Amino acid sequence: MAGNELHYSLPRGKVEKATKVLIVVAPYYKDVADEMIAGAKAEIEAWGAVHDLVEVPGALEIPSAISIAGRMADYDAYVALGCVIRGETTHYDTVCNDSSRGLTLLGLQGFCIGNGILTVENRDQALVRARVADQNKGGGAAAAALHLLALSRKWGAPKSGVGFRPAADEFGLAGGEPSA
């Protein structure tokens, strides 16, 4: 998105019950990562949630860290932060595609993830997108994760009277025998 384009953002929500968010960051470009972390933390706190932060070596490790946390820890939502700047080799394409694919697959499994991994051509583009005073993509990723969590909580309530019942229940049978 060009810096001068207008775009719509969903209104900020608020969590109604205790919410823990894990921020997973690959700080390869530390100044860019620090800006994104600041934006993510501010957004999470504005929603009334709490956060933890872990660092991983690179963008490719972010989906793995989120998957591990999902299995072994107690977080409600996840924010993926990092930056990949195009270089001279095709490694850029691999890192961009595979980190994004990994996060998408986790999302399709029900993880509430905001993807804040920047994929840019140069450092100037990265800084404009990362800075809280500019595009604040860290804050945007945190908001995305929390909006997904809100949907998950809305739709995750137990549903009564929906689904299949065993035939025994439908016909008044207890243990396969007709009831009196």
**Which residues have a catalytic role annotated?**
91
In this structure, how many other beta carbons lie within 10 angstroms of the beta carbon of residue 52? 12
Q: How many CA atoms lie less than 13 Å away from 106 in the CB half-sphere? A: 27
Q: Report H helices in the chain.
A: 30-47, 62-72, 91-108, 123-130, 137-155, 167-170
Radius of gyration of the chain (CA): 21
Cα dihedral 53, 58, 63, 65 in deg (nearest 10): -50
